[in-house]
Amino acid sequence: MKKLNLLLLITSLFATTTFAQTEDNQQSFAHLPTPDKNEKVATFAGGCFWALSEGISELKGVDKVISGFAGGNTKNPSYQEVCTKTTGHAESVQVYYNPSVISFEKLTEAFFYAHDPTTVDRQGPDEGPDYRSVAFYRTPAEKAIIMSVIAKVNATHHYTDKIVTQVQPYTILYPAEIYHQGYFKTHMDNYYITHVSMPKVMKLRKTMHDELKSEYK
């Protein structure tokens, strides 16, 4: 187990270094779309956004998910800048969903099962404030729902330790580079994807089975 954790840590560091050296033609940033009239938006941070974006996108009622950076002060940061851990941003996802199909409460519950919300500034081999767990809210009602879901998940003892997720007001999400969008599906042969991201996605599929789109059941 220790050897595997060390290997995953080395893999994570290698991935960070590789992406920090990404060529200029891959530095185009994704577009943050305006919600359709029947859509609402939610924002979460739960470690590497490759796994979180995939897991959340598999839920019924979720129309699209944009990977980006939120919670910090640097405007329009690049992935390379966020990796320096000086921007204050966390890797995050912006979720566009149909509230008539999936509620904010159910979406928030899925978020807590999509990663480990009991570790401070850490998700598996990934460590630092850019990997912290954050649930962002846009209204007092959303904040109340998040706090209620935290209490609910804690009460089930799904996790041995208590949830330490930060609950913060949403301000802005800066979209990440285009190559990060949908990265999970286009890099299934990547060691990090198969050994770090995939277990998270599979965990969410198991715990939120009834909320999955038919192709993921």
Contact present, 69 and 176 (Cβ < 8 Å):
yes
SS3 assignment, position 108: helix
Percentage of the residues of the chain whose pLDDT score is greater than 70: 88
Catalytic-residue membership of 48: yes
Round to whole Å and give the CA distance between 181 and 65: 8
Say what the pLDDT of residue 140 is: 98
Joined together, the tokens standing for residue 176 give: 């990440």
Q: Which residue of the set 15, 30, 41, 48 is catalytic? A: 48
pTM, whole model, 2 decimals? Answer: 0.89
Say what the pLDDT of residue 26 is: 53
pLDDT digits (tens, 9 = 90+) for 115-160: 999 999 999 999 999 999 999 999 999 999 999 999 999 999 999 9
pLDDT digits (tens, 9 = 90+) for 27-84: 699 999 999 999 999 999 999 999 999 999 999 999 999 999 999 999 999 999 999 9
Say what the pLDDT of residue 20 is: 43
In order of start, what are the domains of the chain with their CATH numbers?
2-22+29-211 (3.30.1060.10)
Closest CA to 41 of 191, 173, 151, 156: 173
SS3 assignment, position 33: coil
Round to whole Å and give the CA distance between 115 and 19: 22
Residue 10 has pLDDT above 70, yes or no: no
- Burial code (b: 16+ CB inside 10 Å, e: under 16) for 59-95 equals bbbbebbbbbbbbbeeeebbbebbbeeebebbbbbbb
Chain mean pLDDT for the chain: 91
Neighbours of 216 (CB within 10 A): 17
**Overall average pLDDT of the 166-186 stretch:** 97
Tell me the backbone φ, ψ of residue 44, rounded to 5 degrees.
Answer: -140, 155
